[in-house]
Chains A and B, each alone.
Chain A
Amino acid sequence: MRDADVVLANVRRGMLPAHIYNDTEVFEAERERLFSRSWMFVAHESEIPQVGDYVVRRVMDNSFIVSRDQSGDVHAMFNMCLHRGMQVCRAEQGNASHFRCPYHGWSYRNDGRIVGLPFHQEAYGGEAGFARKGQRLVPAPSLDSINGLIFVSMDPDAPPLREFLGDFAFYLDYYTRQSPSGVEVLGPQRWRVKANWKIGAENFAGDMYHTPQTHTSVVEIGLFREPKAEKRKDGCTYWAGRGGGTTYKLPPGSLEERLQYVGYPDEMIKKMLEQWSQDQLDVIGRDGFMISAASVFPNLSLVHNWPKVADSDDVLPFISLRQWQPISADETEVLSWFVVDKEAPEEFKKLSYKAYLMCFGSSGMFEQDDVENWVSLTNTAAGTMARRLLLNGRMGMLQDDTPVVEPLAPEEFAGPGVARVGYGEYNQRALLAEWADHLEQEPPATATTVVGMSGQAECS
């Protein structure tokens, strides 16, 4: 990546070289240094509830089978036959006890162990030729989960996921642990947009400023009552650990009244009260903030909103989880899931699904206008003029770095991290600072798996 030192130094002071949103060299650096190390979401356990269930997901160009084996354990296995490298699973999802390679018929259990190697004795001379014992589809270098969300890291020495997430785990519970049973995750809708992956991640992390402008139309048609400019800036943004998000300020009222205000039925509220810590409840009940969009570094985002789904004044909350899967410097595959508490009443699940479809995802009315902007931005960032431009991403700071507003004190905001009321680009800077930290590091050390040669290391 050209002039990496200058680019990263500028990013760290909130001055954004416009070309980072469409630059193949930057993308290569991201591939080698960021996506080779960071934890990446691949699936939720509810997508593979039964023994034998699997989904196939990618981490960059790498295809992984995420499966539940016969004893109920979850695996993420590189989807490549150990013989000639064929994909052993060419479906996106299903249920299987074994995967059989169509090329030469090698087969593997759904935990990755090799079970079938045709003509092992005749062709290889048995174990003396090809050491079959202990061979398995290559597992993801690191695998971990939180609240049923399964993550993979390409770094074999990745820190535990909880350590990586840090205090963001506190906020993750609002989206994915509203009852002891946790959530079910449905989808994903998948579609490709000609936009750089960072734009969506930054937007969901902290861009309250765009809501009243980009999403004017959804307020005008009565779908959403909240994003009037004067309301959106009353919310706060927070950054904690490796994630951050936005909130709405709720009208005065008790904890229960505020959860009712966004449309939760009493039956669900009762469980939230038992499930969440006092601090988690205080963010809503005492401080009056309701979580909305959020991003976890690098490319996982969440959103919680409460539109009207019928011609009445009632609103219905929904949650979406989405991944900005990088395809190239100027293309992203969006994977967007609908998330709902497992214990929620069926009627709630149905209407929350409807709310999701109307607002987000491939046909969502919020999302439609977001993507239009991001495609346009990516297009413009490709040229040489973009290389001469440092965009100002310093909202919330004076030129001498003095903050425009002070962080909320612990008695004003019970959540961990740093929270500030009003518009600001603190979170986008936090996300990009993390990006810069990764791009500055050398790629992680990796090991080579040698197939079928017992006790032999790779050639050095």
Chain B
Amino acid sequence: MTTYLPIRSADSPLGQDAPTTDAVGASLAFDDPRHLLAHRWLVEETYVLDHQDYDAWLGLLAEDIHYYMPIRVTTALGTGYDTAKRMAHFDEDKYSLSRRVARFQTEHAWTEDPPSRIRHHLSNVRTFATANDDELVVESAVLLFRSRGDVNEASLISAGRTDLLRRAGALGGGWLLARRHIAVDESVLRTQNLAIFL
């Protein structure tokens, strides 16, 4: 028995054209070069996000990215779903992510001025091969600590992520994020907004 219900892009009306590559087989050994590569990629990304260096972050995203964080709902065991039907916190393509980033770069995005102090605590990374050599599936846990102002209570967001990383090929051998499914661990978020990325 398992309570794990994977998130699928196909469940979203905006995810119909998302990459569909799946993991194949068991997770790779921790000394496998592909795992080391993927792990390093995720660690580097946490620094980019913590520094709110969002131009650099957009540069890590593939043009066809589906960035998807469906709403989690509390359902009885065996119901068969634990995310809301056709509703998400994030259901993004590159254009909508680029608008979010552009907004932070105006002088009038009040919610992040003064900026939050954020720290993505990354753990439980495991990597899977796929049917092709140019894509890897990487799973991770992330705990986002966010502090705003001097005495406001800080907020935490805990989530699991399943990412599809793709070799950028001609672009110098870097890897890009082509799909991110975020399984947030709360049904009701305890943060004032999602003016952050996971």
Residue ranges of A at the interface with B (Cβ–Cβ < 8 Å): 90-94, 96, 186-195, 214, 216-218, 220-223, 309-311, 333, 338, 346, 349-350, 353-354, 357-358, 361-365, 367-369, 371-373, 375, 379
- Residues of B close to A90: CB separation below 8 A: 74, 76
* Nearest B residue (CB) for A333: B188
- Residues of B close to A221: CB separation below 8 A: 99, 102-103, 106
Are B102 and A191 in contact, CB atoms less than 8 angstroms apart? no
Q: Which 7 A-B pairs have the closest CB atoms?
A: A191-B189, A363-B194, A216-B108, A372-B111, A217-B108, A368-B111, A217-B106
Bound Cα distance A194, B192 (Å): 7
Q: 1/0 per residue B108-121: CB within 8 Å of A?
A: 11110000000000
* Nearest B residue (CB) for A357: B91
Q: Which of A191, A338, A353, A372 contacts B14 (CB 8 A)?
A: A353
Q: Which of A188, A311, A353, A362 contacts B193 (CB 8 A)?
A: A362
Contacts A90-B74, A354-B96 given; does A375 touch B192 at CB 8 Å: yes
Q: Which of A194, A223, A368, A371 contacts B153 (CB 8 A)?
A: A194
* Nearest A residue (CB) for B69: A363
Bound Cα distance A94, B95 (Å): 34
Are B103 and A92 in contact, CB atoms less than 8 angstroms apart? no
Q: How large is the interface on B (under 10, 10 to 19, 20 to 34, 35 or more residues)?
A: 35 or more
Contacts A91-B76, A92-B187, A186-B85 given; does A311 touch B102 at CB 8 Å: no
| Least CB distance, B77 to chain A, in whole angstroms | 9
Is B2 an interface residue, CB under 8 A from the partner? no
Q: List 29 A-B contacts (CB under 8 A).
A: A93-B73, A94-B79, A96-B76, A186-B85, A187-B71, A190-B189, A191-B193, A192-B188, A193-B192, A194-B153, A217-B109, A217-B110, A221-B99, A221-B102, A223-B99, A346-B13, A353-B13, A353-B14, A354-B96, A357-B88, A357-B90, A357-B91, A357-B96, A358-B99, A358-B100, A361-B89, A362-B189, A363-B193, A375-B152
- Residues of A close to B153: CB separation below 8 A: 194
| Least CB distance, A71 to chain B, in whole angstroms | 23
Q: A221-B99, A358-B99 are in contact. List 4 more A-B contacts (CB 8 A).
A: A186-B86, A191-B192, A221-B106, A371-B193
| Least CB distance, B178 to chain A, in whole angstroms | 19
Is B123 an interface residue, CB under 8 A from the partner? no
Q: Which of A96, A214, A354, A379 contacts B91 (CB 8 A)?
A: A354
- Residues of A close to B110: CB separation below 8 A: 214, 217, 369, 372-373
- Residues of A close to B10: CB separation below 8 A: none
Q: Which of A186, A190, A218 contacts B187 (CB 8 A)?
A: A190
Are A220 and B74 in contact, CB atoms less than 8 angstroms apart? no
Bound Cα distance A117, B71 (Å): 36
- Residues of B close to A309: CB separation below 8 A: 96
- Residues of A close to B108: CB separation below 8 A: 216-217, 220, 369
Bound Cα distance A196, B106 (Å): 28
- Residues of A close to B191: CB separation below 8 A: 191
Bound Cα distance A222, B14 (Å): 21
Q: Which of A186, A333, A346 contacts B87 (CB 8 A)?
A: A186
Bound Cα distance A217, B188 (Å): 27
* Nearest B residue (CB) for A365: B103
Are B194 and A362 in contact, CB atoms less than 8 angstroms apart? yes
Q: Which of A194, A214, A310, A368 contacts B95 (CB 8 A)?
A: A310
Chain B residues 64 to 108 lying within 8 A of chain A, measured CB to CB, are 71, 73-76, 79, 84-92, 95-96, 99-100, 102-103, 106, 108
Are B187 and A311 in contact, CB atoms less than 8 angstroms apart? no
Q: Which of B71, B74, B84, B103 contacts A91 (CB 8 A)?
A: B74
* Nearest B residue (CB) for A310: B95
| Least CB distance, A363 to chain B, in whole angstroms | 4
| Least CB distance, B49 to chain A, in whole angstroms | 15
Are B190 and A191 in contact, CB atoms less than 8 angstroms apart? yes
Are B74 and A187 in contact, CB atoms less than 8 angstroms apart? no
| Least CB distance, A33 to chain B, in whole angstroms | 27
- Residues of B close to A363: CB separation below 8 A: 89-90, 100, 193-195
| Least CB distance, A149 to chain B, in whole angstroms | 18
- Residues of A close to B111: CB separation below 8 A: 368-369, 371-372
Q: Which of B14, B73, B190 contacts A354 (CB 8 A)?
A: B14
Bound Cα distance A368, B190 (Å): 14
Q: Which of B14, B95, B195 contacts A311 (CB 8 A)?
A: B95
Bound Cα distance A326, B145 (Å): 25
Are B14 and A350 in contact, CB atoms less than 8 angstroms apart? yes
| Least CB distance, B82 to chain A, in whole angstroms | 10
Are A91 and B87 in contact, CB atoms less than 8 angstroms apart? no
Bound Cα distance A91, B187 (Å): 11
* Nearest B residue (CB) for A376: B149
